[in-house]
């Protein structure tokens, strides 16, 4: 028995050893196979620290390639605690340079196990001062800083970025994914004693560059004149929008108050708002353009119909409405020129609520335009079934409806360009790609070309004889409409007697519009009528922008006309002479006579001659429309007067040789109507 004990003991020891080894191996297998990912992650967490390197944001340009927003590489300073032997000394040396308390810097360094960022995006001067200290464990890393070289110019459109280079407003926010790019990474490695031993980086991918439709010079003109208007009227806020009516592209969007996107934190939130897309207001009398467009298009009124404005009073569904002046009988043309509320209401009653609603919707009111800017307000247009008995009266004069500046300038652009409603656009190109080529951006027809031509003529009368006559442009024809809308008093819920939104919208030149402009002033002090406070801003902006764009003059300046009248002589400008001379009709007859074509029949060519073309019917077309139609056929237009085509020679249907001159007289659209339809009254 005693001989077996040593052997048994060895067996027990070996058994225990095998079990122990089995447990160890099993544990190792478990850790290596089943817990590998978990422990690897823990090890990497202890050994690695990853810093995100912000990518270079894409540059934002104006339409001519001028830089509006750029990103510049700047140095951020880091400290590696593993290489710093005297943290207190380093903190004391860096504190006055970085402008931070030494204790805060020391705490930041001591609390870190891997390199820690002490300050971001430092100026070259500060970086040089730190470099001169030659501190061990302190190094620099490149990061990007967003800079707006034009400072406040177009700030509400551009927006701004936060400290991490993320877009926080305007285009910077709306297109942040494209502009921002993909960030890079810097990975720092440390050993078991927390000593830094390696660092590697992956380069960030730069963002896409954006080209806007904005023109830097036009934007400057708009902002300068808006600031001048704010100074003169002491208005609380204001907006000026300049649009190309032939494409919907916005050439300028100016808002006041403004801010500097290089340091947005210094300004209140209201300064950073883009009022052109986010602030809805009742348009007032500028809305009468839409009211009369619907009536004329639906043939319930003509420009020369006479309307009894009842000496400035009308009752609609039990509500007594007072006009701003005691007008008697006015033509429809005079209703717009004099901005009669009663007249507009009576025309709207002829139109009826369903057709009026359809007209308003056709001009995009109450709908999002889809412009590439954040925070767009759709405005307010109640569904037809929710209209009250007196809604049609309120809407006719621009109440009970709210619009944004972008919506109303786009609607007037549709009138200016012949009836086509383009979606307003602010982005022209994204790194070589032109956005907005899908069906969503297809323009729609707001009204027909003939009605649009008639409305242009009516809006021209506003400038010549109505509320915009003090804002006539020097050297250019123009059409416009003023608006003076009472604001709602938040304390009473009623219309205020002292607070107004004063506006003016117009386009120029009349027959070939190059731009449409809207001016809105919020709560001007003292004079508040749109024609008096907004009209002069329209005039100053339009004259400067037209000259900058190189648009040819198409009229004499008002001062030249007055001088000519005093001297008894006609103005030199041919289009102005059409009004000061006997008549454009006489000039048309003289032009026909001077070409040797006094006979009633026009020159003809042999039937089937390849050089022959048939003269088209040009009546109702604009100057641009006539020019395009003639160019396609190879005939030469001779244009007389302004407005729409009302008379032509040779007559439509005549067969003539290519190269033949066709004389076309332009005038008011009403001249094309039979005499018996004029002045129908009521």
Residue numbers of the domain that contains 579: 567-676
Q: What is the pLDDT of residues 169-203, one digit of tens each?
A: 899 999 988 888 777 676 666 665 555 555 566 66
Among the three residues 171, 193, 212, which one is the final residue of a domain in this structure? 212
Q: Is residue 23 part of a domain?
A: no
Q: Confidence band (pLDDT; 50, 70, 90) for 114?
A: low
User: Of the ranges 47-56, 95-104, 516-525, which one carries the lowest mean pLDDT score?
Assistant: 47-56
Per-residue confidence (pLDDT) for residue 521, from 0 to 100: 95
Per-residue confidence (pLDDT) for residue 570, from 0 to 100: 41
Of residues 83 and 362, more confidence is placed in 362
241's tokens = 């929008």
18, HSE (Cβ side, Cα atoms, 13 Å): 6
| pLDDT higher than 50, residue 599 | no
| pLDDT higher than 60, residue 560 | no
- Cα torsion 640, 641, 644, 649: sign: negative
CB environment 324-363: b (16+ within 10 A), e (fewer): beebeebbbbbbbbbbbbbbbbbbbbbbeeebbbebbebb
Q: What is the CATH number of the domain that holds 328?
A: 3.40.710.10
Query: Are the beta carbons of 570 and 550 closer than 8 angstroms?
Result: no
Q: What is the pLDDT of residues 61-98, one digit of tens each?
A: 999 999 999 988 777 788 777 677 777 787 877 777 77
State the chain's mean pLDDT as an integer: 82
337 with 195, same domain? no
266 with 154, same domain? no
372 with 410, same domain? yes
Q: What is the pLDDT of residues 137-151, one digit of tens each?
A: 777 777 778 889 899
Query: Are the beta carbons of 507 and 479 closer than 8 angstroms?
Result: yes
Task: Report the percent of the chain where pLDDT is more than 90.
Answer: 41
User: Of the ranges 84-93, 285-294, 321-330, which one carries the lowest mean pLDDT score?
Assistant: 84-93
Q: Confidence band (pLDDT; 50, 70, 90) for 583?
A: low
303: closest CA among 430, 159, 460? Answer: 460
Total domains in the chain come to 3
Per-residue confidence (pLDDT) for residue 190, from 0 to 100: 62
Q: Is residue 33 part of a domain?
A: no
Q: Is residue 1 part of a domain?
A: no
The answer to whether the peptide bond before residue 257 is cis (omega within 30 degrees of 0) is yes
Segment 421-425 mean pLDDT: 94
539 with 510, same domain? yes
Q: Is residue 20 part of a domain?
A: no
Please give the Cα distance from 272 to 261 (Å, whole number).
9
Q: What is the CATH number of the domain that holds 658?
A: 3.30.10.20
Per-residue confidence (pLDDT) for residue 9, from 0 to 100: 78
Q: Is residue 457 part of a domain?
A: yes
Query: Are the beta carbons of 233 and 524 closer than 8 angstroms?
Result: yes
Segment 29-39 mean pLDDT: 77
The answer to whether the peptide bond before residue 572 is cis (omega within 30 degrees of 0) is no
Per-residue confidence (pLDDT) for residue 165, from 0 to 100: 79
Pairing of strands 250-256, 237-243: antiparallel
273 with 391, same domain? yes
207 with 223, same domain? no
Please give the Cα distance from 533 to 502 (Å, whole number).
7
526 with 626, same domain? no
Q: Confidence band (pLDDT; 50, 70, 90) for 123?
A: confident
Q: Please report the beta strands in 623-660, taking only residues with DSSP state E, as ranges in sequence order.
A: 636-640, 644-649, 655-657
70 with 200, same domain? yes
Of residues 286 and 644, more confidence is placed in 286
518: closest CA among 287, 193, 174? Answer: 287
Q: Is 56 helix (H, G, I), strand (E, B) or coil?
A: coil
Q: Confidence band (pLDDT; 50, 70, 90) for 575?
A: very low
Among the three residues 158, 191, 212, which one is the final residue of a domain in this structure? 212
Q: What is the pLDDT of residues 605-617, one digit of tens each?
A: 444 455 578 889 8
Q: What is the CATH number of the domain that holds 75?
A: 3.90.1310.10
| pLDDT higher than 70, residue 677 | no
Q: What is the pLDDT of residues 432-464, one digit of tens each?
A: 666 655 556 789 999 999 999 999 999 999 999
Q: Is residue 14 part of a domain?
A: no
Q: Is residue 93 part of a domain?
A: yes
Of residues 44 and 257, more confidence is placed in 257
Q: Is residue 285 part of a domain?
A: yes
């Amino acid at each position: 028995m005693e001989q077996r004990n040593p052997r048994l003991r060895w067996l027990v020891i070996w058994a225990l050893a095998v079990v122990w080894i089995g447990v160890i191996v099993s544990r190792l297998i478990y850790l290596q196979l089943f817990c590998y990912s978990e422990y690897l992650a823990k090890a990497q967490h202890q050994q690695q620290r990853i810093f995100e390197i912000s990518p270079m944001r894409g540059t934002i340009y104006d339409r001519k390639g001028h830089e509006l927003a750029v990103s510049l590489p700047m140095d951020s300073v880091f400290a590696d605690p593993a290489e710093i032997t005297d943290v207190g000394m380093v903190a004391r040396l860096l504190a006055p340079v970085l402008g931070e308390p030494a204790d805060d810097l020391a705490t930041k360094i001591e609390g870190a196990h891997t390199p820690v960022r002490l300050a971001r995006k430092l100026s070259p001067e500060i970086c040089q001062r730190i470099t001169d200290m030659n501190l061990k464990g302190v190094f620099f890393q490149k990061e990007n800083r967003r800079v707006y070289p034009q400072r406040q110019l177009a700030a509400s459109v551009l927006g701004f970025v936060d400290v991490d280079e993320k877009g926080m407003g305007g285009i910077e926010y709306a297109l942040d994914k494209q502009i921002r790019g993909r960030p890079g990474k810097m990975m720092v490695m440390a050993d078991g004693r927390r000593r830094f031993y390696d660092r590697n980086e992956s380069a960030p991918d730069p963002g896409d560059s954006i080209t806007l439709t904005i023109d830097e010079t036009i934007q400057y003109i708009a902002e300068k004149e808006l600031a001048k208007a704010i100074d003169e009227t002491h208005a609380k806020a204001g907006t000026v929008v300049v649009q190309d009516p032939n494409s919907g592209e916005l050439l300028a969007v100016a808002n006041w108050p403004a801010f500097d996107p290089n340091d947005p934190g210094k300004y209140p939130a209201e300064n950073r708002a883009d009022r052109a897309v986010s602030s809805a207001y009742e348009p007032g009398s500028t809305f009468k353009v839409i009211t009369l467009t619907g009536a004329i298009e639906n043939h319930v009124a003509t420009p020369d119909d006479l309307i009894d404005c009842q000496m400035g009073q009308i009752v609609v569904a039990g509500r007594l409405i007072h006009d701003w002046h005691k007008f008697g009988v006015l033509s429809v043309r005079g209703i717009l020129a004099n901005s009669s509320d009663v007249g507009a209401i009576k025309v709207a009653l002829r139109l009826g609520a369903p057709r009026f609603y359809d007209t308003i919707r056709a001009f995009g009111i109450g709908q999002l335009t889809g412009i590439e800017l954040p925070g767009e307000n759709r405005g307010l247009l109640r569904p037809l079934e929710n209209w009250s008995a007196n809604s049609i009266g309120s809407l006719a004069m621009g109440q009970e409806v709210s619009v944004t500046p972008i919506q109303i300038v786009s609607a007037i652009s549709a009138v200016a360009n012949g009836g086509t409603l383009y979606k307003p656009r602010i982005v022209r190109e994204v790194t070589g790609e032109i956005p907005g080529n899908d069906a969503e951006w297809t323009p729609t027809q707001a009204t027909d070309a003939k009605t649009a031509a008639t409305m242009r003529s009516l809006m021209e009368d506003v400038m010549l004889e109505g509320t915009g006559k003090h804002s006539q442009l020097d050297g250019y024809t123009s059409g416009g409409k003023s608006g003076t809308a009472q604001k709602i008093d938040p304390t009473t819920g009623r219309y205020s007697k002292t607070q107004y939104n004063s506006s003016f919208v117009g386009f120029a030149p009349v027959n070939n519009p190059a731009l449409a402009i809207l001016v809105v002033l919020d709560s001007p002090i003292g004079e508040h009528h749109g024609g008096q406070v907004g009209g002069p801003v329209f005039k100053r902006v339009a004259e400067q922008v037209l000259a900058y764009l190189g648009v040819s003059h198409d009229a004499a300046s008002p001062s030249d006309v007055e001088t000519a009248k005093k001297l008894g002589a006609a103005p030199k400008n041919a289009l102005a002479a059409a009004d000061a001379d006997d008549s454009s009709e006489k000039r048309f007859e003289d032009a026909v006579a001077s070409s040797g074509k006094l006979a009633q029949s026009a020159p003809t060519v042999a039937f089937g001659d390849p050089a022959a073309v048939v003269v088209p019917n040009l009546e109702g077309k604009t100057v641009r429309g006539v020019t395009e139609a003639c160019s396609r056929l190879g005939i030469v237009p001779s244009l007389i007067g302004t407005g729409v085509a009302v008379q032509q020679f040779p007559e439509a249907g005549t067969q003539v040789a290519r190269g033949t001159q066709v004389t076309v007289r332009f005038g008011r659209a009403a001249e094309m109507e039979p005499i018996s339809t004029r002045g129908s009254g009521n």
